[in-house]
Amino acid sequence: MGGNRLFSTSSAYRSITRDGSSSSNGLWNVSWRLNVLQRVRVFFWLLLHNKLLTNVERNCCHLTDVATCLVCGLGDETVDHVLRGCGCARRIWTNLVRNDRLQPFLSMPFTEWITVNIQDTGKMVSLEPVRPRLFSITCWVLWKRMCCLVLGSDSNCYGDVISFCRLFWDEVVSASSRNASNVRPRTGMCRLLPPRGWVKVNADGAVGGSPVMAASSGVICDEAGEWLLGFVHSIGSCSILCVELWAAFDSLSLAWQRGFRKVIIELDNMQVVLILNGETSALGDNFLVVRIKVLLVRQWDVPVRHIVREANKVADGLARLVRGEPIGEWFYDIPPL
Q: Which residues bind Zn ion (CB under 5 A)?
A: 69, 71-72, 86
Distance of alpha carbon 295 from alpha carbon 25, whole angstroms: 52
Closer to Zn ion by Cβ: residue 54 or 115: 54
> Min. distance of Cβ 142 from Zn ion in angstroms?
10
Give me the least distance between CB of 89 and Zn ion, in Å please: 8
> CA nearest 84: which of 59, 58, 61, 112?
112
Least separation in angstroms between residue 95's CB and Zn ion is 18
Determine contact, residues 66/59, Cβ cutoff 8 Å. yes
State the first-to-last Cα distance of the chain, in angstroms, to the nearest integer.
43
Q: How far apart are CA 15 and CA 150, in angstroms?
A: 39
Cβ-proximal residues to 72 (8 Å cutoff; 6+ apart), any chain? 86, 87, 88
In the complex, minimum distance from the CB of residue 37 to Zn ion, in angstroms, rounded to a whole number? 26
φ, ψ at 206 (rounded to 5°) = -140, 140
CB of 114 to Zn ion, least distance (A): 18
Nearer to Zn ion, 55 or 202 (CB): 55
Q: Cα(151)–Cα(158) distance, rounded to whole angstroms?
A: 14
Q: Closer to Zn ion by CB, 113 or 249: give it.
A: 113
**Is 40 or 142 the residue whose CB approaches Zn ion more closely?**
142
- Looking at beta carbons only, is 71 or 321 nearer to Zn ion? 71
